[in-house]
Homo-oligomer: A and B are copies of this chain.
Amino acid sequence: MKEIAIQSRSRCEMIDITAAVQKAAGEENILSGIGVVYTLHTTAAVTINENADPDVRRDILAALERAVPLVADYRHAEGNSAAHVKSSLVGVSEMVIVENGRLVLGTWQSLFFCEFDGPRSRKVLVKFIT
């Protein structure tokens, strides 16, 4: 198992972790297998989406904000209920496939850590099975 440390800089942010996950696969000499990319937090998530136009990330975060507003009829006193909801909607993990030592991703796909209650120091775990 490998650990990736992440420092988010905004309240909501999508951070590309593809290279770090690929590096973890290399360090563990994974030629063919699957991997769990998992974040240990309850106000964050992991997703796979487009890495080309940064406006896609901006639009995803804005659409999540519209669907799950920051301020609403929440009871949780910490003020970050929307972040908890987004975490369960997007999900705290993604699965990746490895072949020939490389993550198998579509042309436009990257792995993103999703911060929904930053800025914070965060952790992502990567565990491969062959």
Contact = CB atoms under 8 A, between A and B. Distances in A.
Interface of A: 1, 33-34, 36, 38-42, 47-50, 53, 55-56, 58-60, 62-64, 66-68, 72-78, 81-82, 84-85, 87-95, 97, 99, 104-109, 125, 127, 129-130
B77 A55 contact: yes
B50 A109 contact: no
A127 B58 CA distance: 32
A49 to B, nearest CB: 5
Nearest to A97: B127
B81 A49 contact: no
Given A34-B127, A41-B106, A74 B59 contact: yes
Contacts of A64: 85
A95 B97 contact: no
Contacts of A91: 47, 91, 94
A89 B45 CA distance: 11
A57 to B, nearest CB: 9
